Amino acid sequence: MFKANKQRIQTHIESLARFTATPGHGTTRLSYSKEDESARHYIKQEMRNLSLVVREDAVGNIYGRLEGLLKNVPAVIIGSHFDSVPNGGSFDGPAGVVTGLEVAALFQEYGLKPRYPLEVIAMIEEEGSRFGGGVLGSRMIAGQITPTDLHEMKDSTGQSAADAMAKMGFNAADIGSALRTASDVKAFLELHIEQGPLLEEAAQDVGIVQSIVGMTEIRITVRGKSGHAGTTPMKGRADALVAAVSILKELPGLVLGESDMPVLTVGKLNVLPNGANVIPNQVDFTVDIRSANNGTIRRILGKIKQLAADAIMPGISFSTEELLYAEPVGMSTTIQSLLIGNCEKLGLRHRKMVSGAGHDAMIFASFTDTGLIFVPSKDGISHTPEEWTDYAQLQKGIELAFETIVQLTEAKEKSSNQ
C-alpha cells in the first residue's frame, strides 16, 4: 500500500509558514506581497524538484504539470490556496497545496504514469484578505472576474489588484488566458482542514464533503458629516458611526429566526477619519452571510437593505456593494463514491459533511467534477496562530487524496517490476 511521507509533509508546512509578515504572530501572507513572492518561489522550486512542468497563469496561480500518456485530453487538478488571513495559521490552504506536492512525489517515487495529465495548483487570494471578496484565484480561473473588476478591487492602501499584480509581473488585461473549462479540466480535488470541531469530536479521520453552503459578502458604507467633537452640538449631528451602529446591533437578529441555521458575521469595520476628537464622516463594514439555502441568503440580504433604508436620516446616507455571491454547491457524487470506497480500502473512519466555509472547490464545481476532503482541526480552531492539524491526520487525508487521484488519472506503474 502506498504511504505518504509524514516528515516531508511537515517540512513543507513548516517551510511555507516561515513566509509571513508577522513572525511569531501567525501567518500573514497576502496576495502579491513579498511573502507571497517568497512562498511562490518555494512552491515552484519544489514542483521542479518533482520534474513537474511549472507555469504561472496571467494572474499568478501556480501550476505544476505531469504529462499523461494520452494527448489532447483534460487534466486532473489537485491543490488549494497559499494566501492567508492576517495572523492566521499554517494549515489553512497550505495543507491542500502540500497535498498536491506529496501526491506528485508519490507518483515519482512509485513510478506511476497517469493516462490523463496531473496538475498541482497553488492559488492566490482565496481568503479575500487583501482585496475583499474571496476565492478570487479560482473565480479568475472560472472566468467570473473581468479586468475592470481587478482595477476596481482595492486594498486598504488604495492600491488596486491590477496594480499589485503588475508589480509582480502579472497582467490583468490577460486574465482571459487564465480561463479553464470542462474541455481541459477532467476533475478537481481539494484537501482542506475542517476549520470546525466535528471530526475531532467524533474521532474520525476524514470528512467527505457533499456540499458547500452558499455565501455572500457585502460592504455597507455609511456617510455622514465630520465635525469637531467638542464644538458641534449633539442635536443635528450626522455621525456616521452612530448611524452604522443602529444597523449593526440589529444584524444578529436577522438570522436567528431562520430554520436552516444561517450564520452572519461582521468581520471588518473602518471608521473615517478615525480621529479621537473628530465626528466620523464615513464607516465601512462587511457582512458575511452563509446558508445551505439560497433563498435564505437572499431573504437576509433584503432585510439588511431594508434596515439601511429605514436608518436614513438628514445628513446620513447608506450604500451597499456585493463583493461576493456564491450559491450552495454540491460536490460530484462520482468523486464522493471514489473517496468513500478508498476510505474503506485504507481503513479510514469517515463521515459525510456539509462545509460551512467557502472553498476554491465550490468555484471549480461550476465547470468540472469536484471533490473536497476535510481533515480534523484541533479544537475546531482556524484563522488564528493556534490553528493545528496533527501531521498523522494530514498524512491519512493525503493518502486518501493520492488513491483517488490515481483513479481519476487512471495511473499505472511504468513497468511491471516497479
Residue ranges of the binding site for Zn(2+): 81, 92, 127, 192, 383
CA 384 to chain CA centroid, nearest Å: 15
Question: From the annotation, which residues make up the binding site?
Answer: 81, 92, 127, 192, 383
Dig out the grid coordinates for 302 from the structure.
Answer: 433584503
Three-class SS string for the chain? CCCCCHHHHHHHHHHHHCCCCCCCCCECCCCCCHHHHHHHHHHHHHHHHCCCEEEECCCCCEEEEECCCCCCCCEEEEEEECCCCCCECCCCCHHHHHHHHHHHHHHHHCCEECCCCEEEEEECCCCCCCCCCCCHHHHHHCCCCCHHHHHHCECCCCCEHHHHHHHCCCCHHHHHHHCCCCCCEEEEEEEEECCCCHHHHCCCCEEEEEEECEEEEEEEEEECCCCECCCCCCCCCCCHHHHHHHHHCCHHHHHHCCCCCCEEECCCEEEECCCCCECCCEEEEEEEEEECCHHHHHHHHHHHHHHHHHCCECCEEEEEEEEEEECCEECCHHHHHHHHHHHHHHCCCEEEEEECCCCHHHHHCCCCEEEEEEECCHHHCCCCCCCCCCHHHHHHHHHHHHHHHHHHHCCEECCCCC
Lookup result for grid cell 471578496: 133
